A and B are shown apart, each in its own frame.
Chain A
């Protein structure tokens, strides 16, 4: 069965420090991977997506993610976080052009 796992429910980090939010997905021949962010009282906003091609994907707000097929991972990274990055981040997988499977979310708390 398809599934997405986000191992960390909460990640505290100081401002300007690097951060990595982990995501693993269940393997499939055809899978597309996404990261969404939800700021308080807002909808989910697309950060980046991997469809094919280069395994390193760059998104908005300085975030990037690397698709690793052998480890079935799609970890999200940012070299230097800001207070404004405080939000909840969701990893999602699209199998066979159909519905999204989401992870349980990771709350990133950036401290001054």
Chain B
């Protein structure tokens, strides 16, 4: 069974540009999460989808970030326009149900904004 996949693995863009990150969860997992790790600090929650609905987006930094999950399958996270402080590693995770379920993480997308 394929794990959580993320694309691209790395992205280098200039300040002001737009970047779109993609996450494909494990098949059958209704829950999809985005997290971010900035500059070696803790991994922080961004948002949580249940199928195609946003369950919790309390961690989204500002309105430059837009997350979507089309048809309850893959998800995209768009940053527009990107700022220097957006640099970091963006992780996606998925789980089958809610409750104390194990979340399965992807390898992350390393974003560098110059």
Contact = CB atoms under 8 A, between A and B. Distances in A.
Interface string B86-114: 00000101000011101111111000000
A100 interface: yes
Contacts, number: 53
A108 to B, nearest CB: 15
Given A99-B33, A99-B56, A100-B35, A46 B102 contact: yes
A73 B93 CA distance: 25
A43 B23 CA distance: 13
**Taking each of B4, B48, B105, B108, which has the highest tally of chain A beta carbons within 10 Å of its own beta carbon?**
B105
Task: Report whether over half of chain A's contact residues are helix, strand or loop; otherwise say mixed.
Answer: strand
B7 interface: no
Contacts of A46: 102, 104
Interface string A71-112: 000000000000000000010101001111111110000000
Interface in A15-63: 32, 34, 36, 41-46, 49, 51
A101 B45 contact: yes
Interface residues of B, number: 25
Contact of B42 (A51, A98, A102): A102
A104 B40 CA distance: 7
Nearest to A33: B100
Nearest to A98: B56
Contacts of B3: 43
19 contacts: A32-B100, A34-B102, A43-B108, A44-B91, A44-B93, A45-B105, A46-B102, A90-B43, A94-B100, A97-B99, A98-B48, A99-B56, A100-B33, A100-B35, A101-B45, A102-B42, A102-B43, A102-B44, A103-B42
